[in-house]
Amino acid sequence: MSQYEVYTSVIQRVLQDEECLPSLPSITLKIRQAIADDSATVRQLVSLIRTDPGLSALLMKSASSPLYKTASPVKTLDGVVALIGMDAVNNLVMLHSVRGMFVSKDPRLKLLFDRTWRRQIMKAGLSCFLAKKLRYQSVDEVLICSLLSEVGSLAVISAFNDLKEVPDAQDYITLCRNYSKLLGVTLLTKWNVDEELIEVIKHCGQWEETNTGRITGTDIINLSLYHTVLWMNSSAKLPNVETLALYPKLCPPDNEINDNHELVLVARHKDQVKQIVASLQ
């Protein structure tokens, strides 16, 4: 049996026993339940949030994002919740939980995690930016779908947490190509997320897919993934941006492309995108 076959056998065992996959932390479940409860007050929600200092810090940082920034800085958690809304709070709670549950102590796995997480946060920030610029119906929907669309790649890393032999960067990429979508669907089903979000996972990165009509969340996420890959690896083999499903739906000047095969809309606002990304870290 080759070394790669050993790695695939590890993934197969995880797929056969979903208990090997991480569950959402209890504080995450409590906060999500409070948000879903119409009778719960902001004060009750904030009391729960304060039990997790890291989450509290992330929510405070979010208020400085270009998505929510106001003339007068918000200085309290109550103010942040009022500013960004319950849906955004729910999404940031999930972001914080996902980042925490997949961190590994093994330095080799930590390197894989750090690169994967940077890519996911960059894609999420780009997705939020594009959703706002293109006046998509819900920035919050795009944020959570973008964030979780490649959670299966993190699940690949977690499968090796207790093992001495871990995949190198190239084997990890191959494992992700073969298993990340299946692991992602399995994981999000375990977490009882909306079926619509699971559908996004299935279509993320499918450049050749086309659809007609209005701009969809998947359109935005795939365009964001395209630019994320381009920024992180300029030599990556990518299709022409004009072939992506979203492109024909863009009107001038939003459809302008520069010499680097980027949308000018994105290239001109890199600093704003970076600010959004920073608010998610």
Token pair of 192, please?
């009882």
Q: Tell me how many domains the chain contains.
A: 1
Write the Ramachandran bin of 21: left for phi over 0, alpha for psi from -120 to 50, otherwise beta.
beta
In terms of residue numbers, what domain contains 233?
Answer: 3-279
> At residue 113, what is the residue type?
F
DSSP bridge partners of 263: 257
Provide CB contacts within 8 A for 57, sequence distance 6+: none
Provide CB contacts within 8 A for 235, sequence distance 6+: none
Burial of 159 per CB tally in 10 Å (0-12, 13-18, 19+)? buried
CATH number of 29's domain = 1.10.3210.10
User: pTM value?
Assistant: 0.87
Q: For each of the chain's 281 residues, which pLDDT tens digit applies?
A: 578 788 888 888 888 877 788 888 888 888 888 888 888 888 888 899 999 999 899 888 888 888 877 657 788 898 888 888 888 888 888 888 888 888 788 899 999 999 999 999 999 999 999 999 998 888 888 888 898 888 999 999 988 888 888 899 999 999 999 999 889 888 888 888 888 778 877 788 777 677 777 888 889 999 999 999 999 988 888 888 898 988 899 989 999 999 988 899 999 999 999 988 888 88
